[in-house]
Amino acid sequence: MDILYFAWVRERIGLPRERVDSDAATVAELVDELRAREDRYAVAFEDLGALRVAIDQELSDFDAPIAGAREIAFFPPMTGG
Amino acid sequence: MRVLVQDAPFDLGAEVTEFSTGLDNAGAVVTFTGIVRDVASGDLQVMEIEHYPGMTEAALTKIAQEAMQRWSLADALVIHRHGRLGPGDQIMMVATAARHRKDAFEAAEFLMDYLKSRAPFWKKEITKDSADWVAAKDDDEAALDRW
């Protein structure tokens, strides 16, 4: 699946998107896998309360299942308008 | 109903004129325009607006569709820019048309409240000495409760 990062999440991880093969069942499990990779991921995902997640471009939750998802995006709370 | 996400500036007057033309069943048009505000120190150079292409259009369309239904609007328009803007530049606008002004005002406020915290945009304020992401306000999230 494709993982996308926006705003300061993108800056902390250092890239806007990447392809990840994962058997994670939920967003939270995927986050745990990413955190274990490198410090920059651990730093970006330190406080999930400060993050939002979208699955296939729909806002979702960290306990949501991700089976079959094509695109998962992580970003801070939105500031439109 | 029209939703536009673009980096180019828009012509507020022309948009409102076009929007207000040919609305036989509407007695009220309300518009709101968002402007890039300077930082407290007064030295904002650039406001950079990042967005999530694809999801942005989908989220704005969903919000506008909900407004159309809830307030029986004759029409609705949302334009939101992204990219590098300067102080005083127009960031975005909404316009709503309804039979009566109450619906048009309420629907415009609903659109603003929702697109502030449910449309995937992020703002960064860049000055000579700093570059800071604008944090979402608790008030913005709380504003959704009244709808």
pLDDT digits (tens, 9 = 90+) for A41-80: 999 999 999 999 999 999 999 999 999 999 999 999 999 9
Radius of gyration of chain B (CA): 16
Q: What percent of chain B has pLDDT over 70?
A: 100
Quick check: helix, strand or coil at residue A29? helix
In chain A, residues with a C-beta closer than 8 Å to the C-beta of B121 are 78-81
Is the pLDDT reported for residue B49 higher than 90? yes
Smallest Cα distance from B90 to chain A, Å: 10
According to the model, what pLDDT value does residue B69 have?
97
- Does B35 contact chain A (CB < 8 Å)? no
Closest chain B CA to residue A11: B133
- Does B119 contact chain A (CB < 8 Å)? yes
- Does B108 contact chain A (CB < 8 Å)? no
Q: Which residues contact B118 (CB under 8 A, 6 or more apart)?
A: A59, A78, A80, B59, B63, B144
Quick check: helix, strand or coil at residue B87? coil
**Going edge to edge, which strands form the sheet with B28-35?**
B2-6, B75-81, B90-98, B28-35
d(C-alpha B82, C-alpha B98), whole Å: 28
Is the pLDDT reported for residue B134 higher than 90? yes
Which of B55, B112, B120 has the CB atom closest to A81's CB atom? B112
In angstroms, how far is the first alpha carbon of chain A from the final one? Answer: 30
Is the pLDDT reported for residue B140 higher than 90? no
Q: Which residues contact B147 (CB under 8 A, 6 or more apart)?
A: B110, B113, B114
Contact B123, B79 (CB under 8 A): no
Condensed to tens digits (0 to 9), the pLDDT of residues A24-44 reads 999 999 999 999 999 999 999
Architecture in CATH for domain A2-75:
Roll (3.10)
| Residue labelled with tokens 């939105």 | A78
Contact B88, B36 (CB under 8 A): yes
Name the token pair of B133: 């992401």
Is the pLDDT reported for residue B44 higher than 90? yes
| Rounded average pLDDT over B35-39 | 94
Smallest Cα distance from B84 to chain A, Å: 14
Contact B143, B116 (CB under 8 A): yes
User: Considering the domain B2-133 in this protein, what is its CATH number?
Assistant: 3.90.1170.40
Given an 8 Å threshold on Cβ–Cβ distance, is B116 in contact with A73?
no
Cβ contacts below 8 Å, chain A against chain B, sum to 69
Which amino acid is located at B48 in the chain? E
Is the pLDDT reported for residue B139 higher than 90? no
Of the candidate ranges B15-19, B38-42, B50-54, B100-104, the one whose mean pLDDT is the lowest: B38-42
Contact B97, B16 (CB under 8 A): no
Is the pLDDT reported for residue B87 higher than 90? yes
Is the pLDDT reported for residue B55 higher than 90? yes
* Helical residues (DSSP H) of B3-72, grouped into ranges: 12-20, 55-70
d(C-alpha A47, C-alpha B53), whole Å: 25
According to the model, what pLDDT value does residue A76 have?
97
According to the model, what pLDDT value does residue B78 have?
98
What does the mean pLDDT of chain B come to? 96
| Rounded average pLDDT over B54-82 | 97
Question: Mutating which of B3, B35, B55 best tests the A interface, going by the most A Cβ atoms within 10 A?
Answer: B55
- Does B2 contact chain A (CB < 8 Å)? no
According to the model, what pLDDT value does residue B40 have?
86
According to the model, what pLDDT value does residue B141 have?
86
| Rounded average pLDDT over B89-109 | 98
Given an 8 Å threshold on Cβ–Cβ distance, is A7 in contact with B50?
yes
